[in-house]
Structure 1
């Protein structure tokens, strides 16, 4: 059965973002997440730091500037929290380059689910459940590895998840973790690869996906997500995804777990 043409799809499962569709008109950007890109057919192209990479499946490490062109074919993109079990395992145990080919049997299952969705053999909710279950199985491998993210860093991420609608100051989070501000900042960046401030911005961006359909406009969405105004939200969003919120959401259908 031939694949049918349809709009781009955005899925959100916890702090993992999933995109399924075609990508071309994005500007060079970088983000907190570890990115896995999988082509359903042929290859895609990633440009980063003057290099051009062509691949069927590749990892882009956190905070690596890049531009993605799916070459007219649909791609499946996962954005993993690098401090999560799966993000840490892939980033620290399976890859070591800023941009790197990624070959796993797991990838074939992801392709199969995406193709089944495009063929209308499964619906969006079933596709999302299949991806989540696949990640859960992969997590078993992650847990067998030495997962050395500091417990205080993991606790700080969990604290932010519980207060995702608030702006948590450096002094507050440091006190909660019983560390000085300077020690907390050093420890946090050592284990996540990003500053506490940038990570908190990323958390707010991801939480905005949950709020998109219930918000009347971009200003309300920005405020509900913890941003000062729509300009700050749009600027941060474009720096992270290479597209404005209107460009991404306007061309996509959003499915939230």
Structure 2
């Protein structure tokens, strides 16, 4: 399958061949699907050979795909309503069954062929994938104040801890503690994740790396490139 990228408010999809990454870590839930042969990955220093896997946020991983084999990465925002259905703080990854993998491949092929509103189609693909992985409706819940903080960071330019703390009537110390308690990651890491997502979307919209860095409120292109490589194990020029 040819290279393809898609975005929605709840996550994104990236399809590519021959991917080799350095060790990296990021905050999205990642579903990795191989269209043919098994891929190899190291997750928290454990070697896995699989055709379909779900990796939890904040999990160290390294990835190697076979030659001439298309791989789909479905990245899901962890604290979206949909993402909360897949969060598991006790298990860093889950391998998918053969039937689950085959069904998700079918969803991806349908998504890749359809024309129209790409954001809507990408959201439909992510929703179908989540239902295939976890058909139950039970999901993690988080404190409504932390949910409000997440919305502020994602939908505005406000990333000031002091300002956000006032908005939700918490001290900066209490907000930092509660955010980590409720989400499993620090507020600083989530802010960086959100900036990264905004910059990646800008690349998808045909902005160059410098413009994309500023779209995500990075200080410069070098900071964005370094953050991207630490998060995905490759350079953003691969997009």
Moved over 6 A (4+): none
Mean Cα deviation higher: 127-136 or 206-215: 127-136
Higher relative contact order (CA 8 A, sep 6+): 1
Q: Displacement, 1:42?
A: 2.6
Structure 1's unaligned 5+ residue stretches are: 250-257
Counterparts in 2 of 1:135 and 1:233: CA distance versus 1, 3 Å = closer
Residue number in structure 2 paired with 1:222: 213
Please give the alpha-carbon distance, in whole angstroms, between the structure 2 residues aligned to 1:186 and 1:96. Answer: 20
Aligned equivalent of 1:110 = 104
**Unaligned stretches of 5+ in structure 2?**
none
- What TM-score do you get using the length of structure 2 for normalisation? 0.85
How many residues are treated as equivalent by the alignment? 235
2:83 equivalent to 1:52: no
Residue 146 of structure 2: aligned partner: 153
Residue of structure 1 aligned with 2:87, choices 91, 98, 105: 91
Within-5 A mapping of 1:68-87:
68-72=63-67, 73-87=69-83
Deviation track 1:53-107 (CA, whole Å, cap 9, x = no partner) reads 0112111111111111122221211111221222222123xx8421321349664
Q: 1:106 to 1:160 in 2, by over 3 A?
A: farther
SS in 1 for 2:22: coil
* Contact 1:167-1:226 within 8 A present in 2 as well: no
Q: Matched residues in 1 for 2:166 and 2:145: separation?
A: 11
Kept after mapping to 1: 8 A contact 2:8/2:120: no
CA change 1:206–1:116 in 2 (3 A) is same
Task: Work out the CA distance in 1 between the residues paired with 2:177 and 2:197.
Answer: 24
SS of the residue 1:91 aligns to: coil
> Secondary structure of 1:178's match?
coil
**C-alpha separation between the residues in 2 aligned to 1:104 and 1:174?**
46
Contact map agreement 1:204 1:226 (CA 8 A) in 2: yes
Q: CA deviation at 1:243?
A: 1.3
Matched residue of 1:133: which SS?
helix
CA contact 2:38–2:49 (8 Å) conserved in 1: yes
Q: Does the Cα contact within 8 Å between 1:40 and 1:115 map onto a contact in 2?
A: no
Contact 1:110 1:131 in 2 (8 A): no
Alignment of 1:181-220 (within 5 A): 181-212=172-203, 213-215=205-207, 217-220=208-211
**C-alpha contact 2:195 2:216 (8 A) present in aligned 1:** yes
What secondary structure sits across from 2:86 in the alignment? helix
Cα deviations by residue, 1:15-38 (Å, 9 ceiling, x for unpaired)? 402111224332110001111111
